[in-house]
Amino acid sequence: MNAQAESYVTDDGRTIGPTVMEMKNITLRFGGVKAITDISFDIREGEIRAIIGPNGAGKSSMLNVISGFYVPQEGEVWYKGKKRPPMKPYQVAQQGIARTFQNIALFEGMTVLDNVMTGRIRQMQSGLFSQALWKGKAEKEEVANREQVEKIIDFLEIQHIRKTPVGRLPYGLKKRVELARALAAEPSILLLDEPMAGMNVEEKEDMSRFILDVNDEFGTTIALIEHDMGVVMDLSDRVVVMDYGKKIGDGTPDEVRNNQDVIDAYLGVAHD
Amino acid sequence: MAQSSQATGGLESIPALLQRNATLYANKDAYREKEFGIWQRWTWADTEKEIEALALGLINLGVSEGDFVAIIGRNRPYFYWSMVAIQSVGAVPVPVYQDSAAEEMEYILSHCGAQYAIVEDQEQVDKVIDIQEHLHQFKHMIYIDQRGLRKYDHHALHRFVDIQEQGRAAYYEWIDDLKARREKLNYDSTCVMLYTSGTTGKPKGVVLSNRNVIESAKNSSDFDNLNAGDEILAYLPMAWVGDFIFSVGQAYWTGFCVNCPESADTMMTDLREIGPTYYFAPPRVFETQLTSVMIRMEDAGKFKRKMFHHYMAHAKKVGGDILDGKPVGFMDRLKYKIGDFLVYGPLKDTLGFGRVRVGYTAGEAIGPEIFEFYRSLGINLKQLYGQTEATVFITVQPDGEVRADTVGVPAPDVEIKIADNGEIFYRSPGVFVEYYNNPESTASTKDAEGWVATGDAGFFEEKSGHLRIIDRAKDVGKMADGSMFAPKYVENKLKFYPDILEAVLFGNGKDRCVAFINIDLSAVGNWAERNNIAYASYQELAGHPKVLESIQEHVEAVNKSVAEDPMLAGCQIHRFLVLHKELDADDGEMTRTRKVRRVIVAEKFKDLIDALYDGSTTISTTTEVTYEDGRKGSISATLELRDAKVVPVASKVAAE
């Protein structure tokens, strides 16, 4: 598979750029278990790319490969035209990849504001000493970062819980706070692990709108894993379908919807 | 009418007042809005520049004199500027409730023939685009928040800041036009058009002139000594006359500062940060606050709780009298001072009422206990009685003469008379010009001499000269035996219980009364949590036997109190049920200002009313509901109908 260079404009007027990240023949094993078998696909700049599949298909493992948490035994990850060496997750984050987690990983005892501020860690340069004394550079940095964070708080409409400890928030809002924290890092690629899991219809609609708006306003490339087929088909530009660790489909939502392998995997023969 | 512009120093329009304020109070804050976590501010001089740029931009866009321009959004400085900019170019601002459904909005925009709209965000833009094909005259839309709108077709869609920018760029082209248009404005030109929510039928466009607005603002500001140093928080719907008078009329007349909250959900925090000196809220807001205070006190530590209750009891005893300047013993005063230091002060501060000099409530009757609670804390909360058609003020309570069950004496320059059937009529400089495009309604509401029918029944108390309102005149009916049926009177008594949110009484022309009740989910939900009662939905909680039992106790207590008034003793509730859904404006059961639409509720739940009268003990029913986005669904439930004890009516007993 060759990296695509030419940009194009979607029906709704967004510009999709060239390939920014490419997975080449990824295989991931845990001991004898093959979680991912020989999967290749690419993510283009500015698009919303979904990875879907039934339970245990290897979606989260795939996301963990992208985020650098797992290092695949075989295959290569290419990012911005360069092959990415095995990295620690924080190094991946420094490259501009931010993520949210399936089962929320926020600091429960800290306020929403503080949680989102932690997303700015990459933008903070001042040393330990300066931060402890709260003088000069540290103070200026904090003000600048707070401004950025406030924009995100405004964007995601969580002003009313700014000072609320995260532990007291309902699930749907926690998910939104997690998204805020990921956005605070100003990522070039945003990875969302089941952003709508466990949400009711209204919360799903809100979250979908936020995802679309993030993509639209900031031009952020988004890769997301999702269970809910309806949501995925409405949101994404292209979809990768996985089943039992293998890729069984790749294309626009319409192409995927009509793919026989995909239909079999989802409607199944064994399931009702 | 005798008022001349001399009384207002030749200032005959809101734009003229703006010019005055920009000189007189140039460096004083006129608007603040919390945005990005910080209170952004604009002085009167800044405000004048912003409004001028927008006005020039509007002329540049083609807005002509006499055009109607809709304003759809929550309280933000941009919309207040829009109002005045629209007036400056000789057009008429028409604020619309931002949560109106598309068809309500369509009715209003087509009724006034609005050619332009200034809206808040994507949600409102989408709504107007949806109805645009039915609005043949519609030309341009201006929006404030551009999020999600980047990719929209911008031929007839403009950013607010771009319009201002275009206005600034075209300064020399249009400034003479703008000045000429502004100078043409006088006391008789239209200031604003406000659509009344209409408990019955379609909304009507109430046309208010500059005379109406400025005279009312002047009189009411004098009455309460409002001045440029005051602060208000603008959070009530902009389409409501009260907000227009407070945040535009009085603000421009006195030059005080209008603060806009960050979002609807942050209102309470913002209130506390600003600490307004002049505050207005419908009874519901005070109720909700009191409920949350009580709930939080229940969760507080034992010592704090004891202290709270101890000092609140003392405040109840003497707080109101101290506020009214009545004689109170030294020891009681001393104890009140200590209480103020320990409890009242911190509590007022938490509620955001630390600096309130004048507070008003109106729109509905307020529960006496709620009213007393706030007054005993030392908050000068008063009631007023008003209407859109009167530019708000009909009666107000003067300081020191405040009571829960009356609405005060006639406001300055207002004359009141009571018709034979009890209906209240008034005449004042605030009386509206007309209902737009509706001469029949205008004629039936306002007579040749300028008297306006309120539609409310009431009487003046002989001793105090204060007005008391009984009910809507048309809702007051007769029971089968000829005794008076005043549903609101009974409903209000029920609603004073914190766990009852809404009640609807039926019985006009029948031999006995029955009632629907909505429980208050936050109050009852808290009670359920405390008592380990699990519930999944409003419906489930509303049907819980223990809830029904406690509601029954309330109903019976209300019956007892209703029976004490021989005139209204027939209105006791014989049977009741707790509704399986909350009455909602989206379903048309309430107006946007949350007044029950009696007729619609009666039609929609006819099966339930019949069941209440035929004596059955349960009924299954299915009800259509509308979600916020306009989709429909339905809920079904089996409801329990209960009998309530009634007190035998005295006159009947005597007759037997």
Which residues does chain B have within 8 Å of residue A163's beta carbon, measured at their own beta carbons? 269
Of B63, B101, B92, the C-alpha closest to B194 is B92
Mean pLDDT for each consecutive 10-residue tract of chain B (656 residues)? 50 90 92 91 94 94 92 93 94 91 88 92 90 87 88 88 93 92 90 80 88 91 90 91 92 93 87 91 86 84 90 87 84 89 90 90 80 89 89 89 85 88 87 88 86 86 82 78 82 84 89 91 86 87 90 91 78 90 85 81 90 87 80 84 81 41
CB contact under 8 A, B147 and A155: yes
The predicted complex's ipTM stands at 0.73
* Alpha carbons A58 and A35: distance in angstroms, whole number: 6
CB contact under 8 A, A13 and B151: yes
Per-residue model confidence (pLDDT) at position B289: 86
Q: How many CB pairs under 8 A join A and B?
A: 38
- CA-CA-CA-CA torsion for B50, B51, B57, B59, nearest 10 degrees? -160
- CA-CA-CA-CA torsion for B557, B560, B565, B568, nearest 10 degrees? 80
φ, ψ of residue B166 in degrees (nearest 5): -60, -40
Angle, helix A137-155 to helix A201-218, in steps of 10 degrees: 130
**8 Å CB contact between B484 and B471:** no
- Residue B405 to residues B367, B372, B470, B492, B650, Cα–Cα distance (Å): 9, 11, 10, 11, 24
Per-residue model confidence (pLDDT) at position A222: 93
Please check whether residue B630 touches A, CB under 8 A: no
pLDDT band at A268 (very low <50, low <70, confident <90, very high): low
Using alpha carbons only, what angle is made at residue B204 by residues B200 and B207, rounded to the nearest 5 degrees?
Answer: 150
Helix (H) or strand (E) holding B142: strand B140-143
Sheet holding A19-30, edge to edge: A33-44, A19-30, A74-79, A82-83
Which residues does chain B have within 8 Å of residue A209's beta carbon, measured at their own beta carbons? 148
The topology under which CATH files domain B477-655 is GMP Synthetase; Chain A, domain 3 (3.30.300)
**In this structure, what token pair is assigned to residue B604?**
């929609």
Q: How far is A223 from chain B (nearest CA, A)?
A: 20
Q: How far is B206 from chain A (nearest CA, A)?
A: 35
Side chain identity at residue B520, one-letter code:
D
CB contact under 8 A, A160 and B269: yes
Helices assigned H by DSSP within B170-282: 171-184, 210-223, 241-243, 251-254, 267-274
Name the residue of chain B whose CA is nearest to A155's CA. Answer: B147
pLDDT band at A87 (very low <50, low <70, confident <90, very high): confident
pLDDT tens digits along A27-71: 998 888 888 888 999 999 889 999 988 888 888 889 888 888 888
Return the half-sphere exposure (C-beta side, CA atoms, 13 A cut-off) of residue B549.
Answer: 3
B window 233-262, beta carbon within 8 A of A: 262
**Per-residue buried b or exposed e for B29-42, using 16+ beta carbons within 10 Å of the residue's own CB:** bbbbbbbbbeeeeb
Closest CB to B147 among A12, A150, A213: A213
Q: What contacts A91, CB < 8 A, 6 or more positions away?
A: A68
Number of H helices, E strands in chain A: 10, 12
What residue segments make up the domains of chain A, in order of their start? 1-87+190-198+221-266, 97-186
- Residue A48 to residues A236, B272, B488, B654, Cα–Cα distance (Å): 5, 42, 55, 81
Q: Quick check: helix, strand or coil at residue B396? A: strand
**DSSP state at residue A167:** G
Closest CB to B147 among A13, A146, A217: A217
Which residues does chain B have within 8 Å of residue A160's beta carbon, measured at their own beta carbons? 262-263, 265-266, 269
Q: Quick check: helix, strand or coil at residue B38? A: strand
Which residues does chain B have within 8 Å of residue A184's beta carbon, measured at their own beta carbons? none
Q: Quick check: helix, strand or coil at residue B179? A: helix
DSSP labels, B268-284: HHHHHHH--SEEE--HH
Per-residue model confidence (pLDDT) at position B656: 34
Please check whether residue B148 touches A, CB under 8 A: yes
Q: Find which of A12, A145, A160, A164 to mutate to test the B interface (most B CBs within 10 Å of its CB).
A: A160
The topology under which CATH files domain B283-431+440-470 is Rossmann fold (3.40.50)
Q: How far is B545 from chain A (nearest CA, A)?
A: 28
B12-227+234-258 and B283-431+440-470 have identical folds = yes
- Residue A53 to residues A67, A201, A250, B99, B342, Cα–Cα distance (Å): 19, 21, 12, 39, 61
Of A180, A69, A53, A173, the C-alpha closest to A115 is A180
**8 Å CB contact between B61 and B116:** yes
Of B112, B118, B100, B223, the C-alpha closest to B161 is B118
Q: How far is A114 from chain B (nearest CA, A)?
A: 14
Residue whose entry in the numeric block shows the structure tokens 């004689």? B327
Per-residue model confidence (pLDDT) at position B419: 84
A contact set with B (CB within 8 A): 12-14, 146-147, 150-151, 153-155, 157, 159-160, 162-163, 209, 212-213, 216-217
Per-residue model confidence (pLDDT) at position B370: 85
CB contact under 8 A, B148 and A154: no
Based on its alpha-carbon atoms, the radius of gyration of chain A, rounded to whole angstroms, reads 19
DSSP labels, B455-512: EEEEEE-TTT--EEEEEETTT-EE-TTS-EE-HHHHHHHHHTSTTEEEEEEE-TTSSS
**8 Å CB contact between A68 and A92:** yes
Residue whose entry in the numeric block shows the structure tokens 């402890």? A132
Closest CB to B36 among A147, A212, A217: A147
Alpha-carbon torsion (B559, B561, B564, B567), positive or negative: negative
Q: How far is A200 from chain B (nearest CA, A)?
A: 14
pLDDT tens digits along A222-261: 999 987 778 888 889 999 988 888 888 888 888 888 888 8
Q: How far is B147 from chain A (nearest CA, A)?
A: 7
CB contact under 8 A, A13 and B35: no
What residue segments make up the domains of chain B, in order of their start? 12-227+234-258, 283-431+440-470, 477-655
B window 259-288, beta carbon within 8 A of A: 262-263, 265-266, 269
**8 Å CB contact between A55 and A70:** no
Q: Quick check: helix, strand or coil at residue B62? A: coil
Which residues does chain A have within 8 Å of residue B123's beta carbon, measured at their own beta carbons? none
DSSP labels, B401-423: ---SS---EEPTT-EEEE-TTSE
A1-87+190-198+221-266 and A97-186 have identical folds = yes
Closest CB to B37 among A162, A209, A213: A162
Helix (H) or strand (E) holding A175: helix A171-184
The topology under which CATH files domain B12-227+234-258 is Rossmann fold (3.40.50)
Q: Which residues pair with B426 in a beta bridge?
A: B416, B452
Which residues does chain A have within 8 Å of residue B263's beta carbon, measured at their own beta carbons? 157, 159-160
**8 Å CB contact between A33 and A206:** no
Task: Tell me which of B594 and A174 has the higher pLDDT.
Answer: A174
Helix (H) or strand (E) holding A21: strand A19-30
* Alpha carbons A118 and A166: distance in angstroms, whole number: 13
Q: Quick check: helix, strand or coil at residue A143? A: helix
* Alpha carbons B147 and B120: distance in angstroms, whole number: 10
pLDDT tens digits along A120-166: 877 777 666 667 776 777 778 888 888 889 999 988 888 889 889 99
Kindly state which CATH superfamily the domain A97-186 is placed in: P-loop containing nucleotide triphosphate hydrolases (3.40.50.300)
Residue B45, exposed/middle/buried by CB under 10 A (0-12, 13-18, 19+)? middle
Kindly state which CATH superfamily the domain A1-87+190-198+221-266 is placed in: P-loop containing nucleotide triphosphate hydrolases (3.40.50.300)
* Alpha carbons B104 and B197: distance in angstroms, whole number: 10
CB contact under 8 A, A159 and B151: no
Which residues does chain A have within 8 Å of residue B152's beta carbon, measured at their own beta carbons? none
**How confident is the model over A103-110, as a mean pLDDT?**
86
Q: How far is A150 from chain B (nearest CA, A)?
A: 5
**How confident is the model over A92-99, as a mean pLDDT?**
85
Side chain identity at residue B329, one-letter code:
G
Q: How far is A17 from chain B (nearest CA, A)?
A: 17
**Per-residue buried b or exposed e for B455-469, using 16+ beta carbons within 10 Å of the residue's own CB:** bbbbebeeeeebbeb
Q: Quick check: helix, strand or coil at residue B297? A: helix
Q: How far is B87 from chain A (nearest CA, A)?
A: 31
**How confident is the model over A200-220, as a mean pLDDT?**
88
What's the predicted TM-score (pTM) here?
0.79
Please check whether residue B537 touches A, CB under 8 A: no
Q: How far is B560 from chain A (nearest CA, A)?
A: 43
Which residues does chain A have within 8 Å of residue B37's beta carbon, measured at their own beta carbons? 146, 150, 153, 159, 162
Residue B439, exposed/middle/buried by CB under 10 A (0-12, 13-18, 19+)? exposed
Name the residue of chain B whose CA is nearest to A9's CA. Answer: B151
Which residues does chain B have within 8 Å of residue A14's beta carbon, measured at their own beta carbons? 151
Per-residue model confidence (pLDDT) at position B142: 94
Closest CB to A160 among B147, B148, B265: B265
Side chain identity at residue B548, one-letter code:
L
Q: Which residues pair with B92 in a beta bridge?
A: B68
Name the residue of chain B whose CA is nearest to A216's CA. Answer: B148
Per-residue model confidence (pLDDT) at position A12: 72
CB contact under 8 A, A150 and B150: no
- Residue B333 to residues B322, B341, B357, B401, B494, Cα–Cα distance (Å): 8, 12, 20, 20, 34
Of B118, B111, B133, the C-alpha closest to B83 is B118
**8 Å CB contact between B181 and B90:** yes
**8 Å CB contact between A221 and A34:** no
Which residues does chain B have within 8 Å of residue A114's beta carbon, measured at their own beta carbons? none
Q: How far is B280 from chain A (nearest CA, A)?
A: 22
